[in-house]
């Protein structure tokens, strides 16, 4: 266990496991709290997709704050194992699914097996050009509800959202070298 904890809600204070090493970059508690303060009431009863999920902290935080269901996707075997341990430790097995999948290969492949999402978290490895393809795949897959909220953590120097239709940036906040972009999916 590390210092990674659930910030608020029914699981407030619950310790979460982290992935060993530097393969993942968990969102700090302060940043998670800021993101959820901005999202406010749109978390309650939401159906969450946590992409590049790492430890699963974002999706677990959403569930703790009243989200009804979450799917966690990561392509790293150790991250998927860590997410599963965190879900077990938090008693959330009946409200989640975890998938090991490489999003650079297109989420459309299994879209018909997914529910419609209205809240998406994306925290991909920085500066690897993964955000725009993921947004395009999400749009083409038709798994997002109209006006779904998408929260993307990215490096300050990453150029985003050029030539990506169907999305509107509603807010952007800078936290050191990290920028959090809030988007709405517009059908």
Residue 28 scores a pLDDT above 90: no
Rounded to whole angstroms, how far apart are CA atoms 181 and 151? 6
Q: In which residue are the tokens 């904890």 written? A: 5
Residue 13 lies in a domain: no
Q: Residue 25 pLDDT more than 90?
A: no
- Beta carbons within 8 Å of 167's beta carbon, 6+ residues apart: 135, 139, 150, 161, 183, 184, 185, 186
pLDDT for residue 165 is more than 70: yes
pLDDT digits (tens, 9 = 90+) for 75-96: 999 999 999 999 999 999 999 9
| Closest of 29, 31, 25 to residue 13, by C-alpha | 29
The domain in which residue 129 lies consists of 29-185
pLDDT of residue 142: 87
- Whether residue 17 lies inside any domain: the answer is no
Q: Is residue 140 part of a domain?
A: yes
Give the per-residue pLDDT at 3. 77
Does residue 2 fall inside a structural domain? no
Task: Tell me whether residue 4 is in a domain.
Answer: no
162: pLDDT strictly greater than 70: no
Asked whether residue 33 is assigned to any structural domain, the reply reads yes
What domain count does the chain have? 1
User: Which band of pLDDT confidence, cut at 50, 70 and 90, is reported for residue 161?
Assistant: low
Q: What 3-state class would DSSP assign to 131?
A: helix
Q: What is the CATH number of the domain that holds 121?
A: 3.40.50.150
- Residue at 7 is within a domain: no
Is the residue at 133 inside a domain? yes
């Amino acid at each position: 266990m590390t210092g990674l904890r659930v910030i608020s809600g029914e699981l407030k204070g619950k310790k979460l496991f982290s992935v060993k090493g530097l393969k993942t970059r968990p969102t700090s508690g302060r940043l998670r709290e800021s993101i959820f303060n901005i999202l406010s009431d749109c978390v309650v009863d939401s159906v969450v997709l946590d992409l590049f999920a790492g430890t699963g902290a974002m999706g677990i935080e959403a569930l703790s704050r009243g989200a009804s269901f979450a799917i966690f996707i990561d392509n790293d075997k150790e991250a998927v194992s860590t997410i599963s341990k965190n879900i077990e430790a938090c008693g959330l097995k009946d409200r989640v699914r975890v998938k090991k999948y490489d999003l650079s290969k297109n989420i459309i492949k299994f879209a018909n097996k997914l529910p419609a999402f209205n809240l998406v978290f994306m925290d991909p490895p920085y500066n690897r050009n993964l955000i725009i393809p993921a947004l395009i795949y999400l749009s083409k897959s038709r798994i997002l509800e109209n006006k779904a909220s998408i929260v993307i953590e990215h490096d300050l120097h990453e150029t985003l959202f050029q030539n990506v239709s169907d999305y509107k940036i509603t807010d952007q906040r800078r936290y050191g070298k990290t920028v959090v972009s809030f988007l709405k999916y517009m059908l």
